[in-house]
Structure 1
Amino acid sequence: MSEWKEFKLGDIADKIGDGLHGTPAYSDDGEYYFINGNNLLNGKISIKNETKKVTEAEYQKHKKPLSNRTILLGINGTIGNLAFYNGEKCVLGKSACYINISSDIDNFFIYYKMLSKEFQSTLLEIATGTTIINVPLKGLREIPILLPTIAEQKDIAGVLSALDEKIDLLHRQNKTLEAMAEALFRQWFVEEAEESWEEGKLGDEFIITMGQSPPGESYNEDGVGIPMYQGNADFEFRFPKNRVFTTDPKRFAEKYDTLISVRAPVGAQNMANEECCIGRGVASLRYKIKSDLYSYTYYKIRYHMLEIAGFNDTGTVFGSIGKEDLWGIKTQIPSTLESEEIDLRLKPLNDRIIENCFQIRSLEKLRDTLLPKLMSGEVKVDINRDI
């Protein structure tokens, strides 16, 4: 730690500023996206379906001095989101701050420093406002940053970047595998459908369990009891995150049951990775005759998800789907033998996705454990060690 020195964020940045305080002239034909803090996700600028666009002329009016040294930070409403700028065509809104890191500082090290709980907590401490909180640029520039030598900055950033690159690779593999599995199921279920298949309903083929929320006093975030999932807020890619636990579960899903969100919004889909409690916002589905046909179950429900999601438009306040509606969705029902055969074809793809998801969580846990220790100098980098 003797070589670590304290600086202010403003001392190690050539420029810190924020985006447009106002609304640009949007254009559906524009080439530039209007980016705010909620577009900054996992180190990248995320373009969403609802992201507005502007023209070249509007960009020229509001452009900022962004470069490959720029880190973007959410400072209004969505506090603490981070992304590197990689030449994307964009105009920044006021909730996106740009920080141009000086050339003698490793910008990847600063990115991970800003990702740390210590930095994120500082952002919340200096934020102002009641309804919508905001991090003032003046306060941002004053945040202390502890730095080692440039060589150690690069070594630390290299370790953390290697972990993130592996995580990103696994995410990309999963997207490819998911697309392959969906195409395989659709080809079999639609293009190769047999006339002998029976007309039926989802409830004829699957055990459907509608969730029930436990008493509020049984909830905790300390890992006591079993995981409880309430709906879309808990769902990630394939498996939900363990956010809330309960000591008084009422309804259960088994490992590898298909889970769907049945309330506001309807239609998000996941899979249970362990026995869990399902609250009123979740339903679970399991193949009736052989519970180990979880791949067939998952992609069969995914095929019907557009129809299930259509229930978002029902209800007086928010969308929901009840057990009778879910049970009654019409479907073709192959024989058990045929369902087993397609499950065998889907299983290698699905199991690889599942394995990748477990590996992603393991790598994320390692990264999150190392991050504060590396950033404080508690743990030194062994540059000869493979990640």
Structure 2
Amino acid sequence: MFSLSVGMPTSIPPQGWRWVSLSKVARLESGHTPSRRHPEWWGGDIPWIGIRDATRNHGATLLDTEQHTNELGIANSSARVLPAHTVCLSRTASVGYVVVMGRPMATSQDFVNWVCTPALDHRFLKYILLSEHKSMLRFASGTTHQTIYFPEAKAFHVCIPEVKQQFAISDALQALDDRIALLHESNSTLEAIAQAMFKSWFVDFDPVRAKQQGIAPTGMDEVTAALFPDDFEQSELGMVPKGWAYDSLKDVVSIFDSQRVPLAGQERAKRQGIYPYFGAAALMDHVDSYLFDGIFLLTGEDGSVADSNGLPVTQYVWGKIWVNNHAHVLQGKEGISTEHLLLAFRRMDIRPYITGAVQAKLSQANMWRIPFLRPTRAVAEVFGLMIAPLFEQIRQGTEEAKTLSALRDTLLPRLISGQLRIPDAETLTQ
């Protein structure tokens, strides 16, 4: 049973539930874009939700946005500032992405927005729309771009229980989402700690000051500090501790690109399974077999190669996986751990090494031209040992988040349609 319909459905709702026009329990609002010809209408203190905010934060509550408008922008356009807890659904281009306003905001015309009345918990509406994400295109039309037009949005009907039950269902799902979010935040903190250590050891280390004061990077004990030489030498890219050098990436990287195999979408559809299938920038699918088993760093070869700051698009992956031919498959070598390599990559400006006017490409030959600051093997190995526990926690946290996400995705459609009741759901989540 679906929990969302265009028009009043004929299906009988579960006992204690009812089908109701969404516009009767929530106020429908549209969005608008203030003219780009007036830069003075932009850059203010009013968050403005665009498509990228939705696609990057699907299911989340937004506290800020990439772009902001201001009172002039609102006054001179059809945009409206909507209250916190407004539920926003992308209706054009990328159809079906859902976010919730964490504070008063405006949106582009690419959204339909609902301000819920006391008869509808805004979280319950969010979960209804999330449960329908994959099937949302059935409400869309259009030859060039699929779009959910306002007549369809106005005709939305939702199947809901009484408010107390809505809150109970939302609380159960929100508890899982909160645990998942906490794990992601913990992982971000752990990587930030690792990045700070990398920065202290290999970026901010001032050889002149160190030589004068006889010190090594901050945060080291005396034993670790003793690994750093107290003499320095000039390299092509600056002063480095004696025995260190700027080498080619090829000297510290094992590459496994020859083992990659691309699978077309139709072939993947026939080979659905449990093993992650990665592309240049993201997990794309799951298939029935794997090509690699271990811990790897993936970086885009073509298509999604670098972000807006010129930093490489990277993925830290592990276990049994399949990778297509759009991502380089790398591991560290010669005492450089794969995690050390990851931290270095996330500080590299690779724009000078990218080719392709139409589609960006980081060829293997050009990648080998990127300089890498290689310390002595002893220093590299000690650094690898120091960051290893952080990344072990990151992997554990990610796996736990995957398990919780799978549980939530299983419970969501059943809870939101009344097929599963809260007592049974609580048993499953314990």
TM-score, structure 1 length as denominator? Answer: 0.85
1:310 to partner: Cα distance: 4.2
Check the 8 A contact 1:19/1:92 in 2, yes or no. yes
2:99 to 55, 66, 83: 83
Check the 8 A contact 1:75/1:97 in 2, yes or no. yes
1:218 to partner: Cα distance: 8.6
- C-alpha separation between the residues in 1 aligned to 2:123 and 2:15? 22
- The reply to whether residue 19 of structure 1 matches residue 27 of structure 2 is no
1:357 to 398, 404, 426: 398
- C-alpha separation between the residues in 1 aligned to 2:138 and 2:342? 44
Deviates more, 1:22-31 or 1:331-340: 22-31
- The reply to whether residue 34 of structure 1 matches residue 73 of structure 2 is no
Cross-structure match for 2:84? 68
1:11–1:310 Cα change, 3 Å: farther
Deviates more, 1:78-87 or 1:281-290: 281-290
Match of 1:258, SS state, is: strand
- C-alpha separation between the residues in 1 aligned to 2:294 and 2:284? 14
**Sequence identity percentage:** 22
- C-alpha separation between the residues in 2 aligned to 1:142 and 1:260? 45
1:134 to partner: Cα distance: 1.6
Check the 8 A contact 1:261/1:282 in 2, yes or no. yes
Cross-structure match for 1:286? 331
Query: 2:329 is aligned with what amino acid?
Result: S
Check the 8 A contact 1:33/1:52 in 2, yes or no. yes
Cross-structure match for 1:341? 382
Cross-structure match for 1:44? 61
Which runs of no fewer than 5 residues in structure 2 stay unpaired?
1-13, 206-216, 218-239, 306-311
Query: 1:152 is aligned with what amino acid?
Result: Q
1:384–1:278 Cα change, 3 Å: closer
1:301–1:43 Cα change, 3 Å: closer
- C-alpha separation between the residues in 1 aligned to 2:49 and 2:248? 44
Alignment of 1:1-387 (within 5 A): 1-13=14-26, 15-20=27-32, 23=35, 25-27=38-40, 29-40=43-54, 41=57, 42-45=59-62, 51-61=66-76, 62-64=78-80, 66-88=82-104, 90-117=105-132, 121=135, 123-190=136-203, 191=205, 192=217, 194-210=241-257, 212-214=260-262, 216=264, 219-221=267-269, 222-224=271-273, 227-232=276-281, 234=282, 241=283, 243=285, 245=287, 252-266=291-305, 267-289=312-334, 293-303=337-347, 305-306=348-349, 308-312=350-354, 314-382=355-423
1:339 to partner: Cα distance: 1.4
Check the 8 A contact 2:79/2:108 in 1, yes or no. no
Check the 8 A contact 2:19/2:157 in 1, yes or no. yes
TM-score, structure 2 length as denominator? Answer: 0.77
Match of 1:94, SS state, is: coil
1:76 to partner: Cα distance: 1.6
Check the 8 A contact 2:297/2:316 in 1, yes or no. yes
Aligned residues: 367
Match of 2:32, SS state, is: coil
Check the 8 A contact 1:219/1:246 in 2, yes or no. no
1:277–1:116 Cα change, 3 Å: closer
- C-alpha separation between the residues in 1 aligned to 2:81 and 2:201? 52
Instruction: Provide Cα deviations, 1:96-128, integer angstroms capped at 9, x if missing partner.
Output: 2211111122221111111113x652x322212
Check the 8 A contact 1:34/1:52 in 2, yes or no. yes
- C-alpha separation between the residues in 2 aligned to 1:229 and 1:108? 32
1:156–1:224 Cα change, 3 Å: closer
1:130–1:104 Cα change, 3 Å: same
Specify the structure having the higher radius of gyration (Cα).
Answer: 2
Check the 8 A contact 2:172/2:426 in 1, yes or no. no
Match of 1:23, SS state, is: coil
1:54–1:218 Cα change, 3 Å: closer
- C-alpha separation between the residues in 1 aligned to 2:276 and 2:112? 37
Query: 2:61 is aligned with what amino acid?
Result: K
Match of 1:200, SS state, is: strand
Query: 1:282 is aligned with what amino acid?
Result: A
Query: 1:84 is aligned with what amino acid?
Result: V
1:202 to partner: Cα distance: 1.2
Query: 2:250 is aligned with what amino acid?
Result: G
1:47 to partner: Cα distance: 5.4
1:188 to partner: Cα distance: 0.9
Check the 8 A contact 1:185/1:346 in 2, yes or no. no
Which runs of no fewer than 5 residues in structure 1 stay unpaired?
235-240
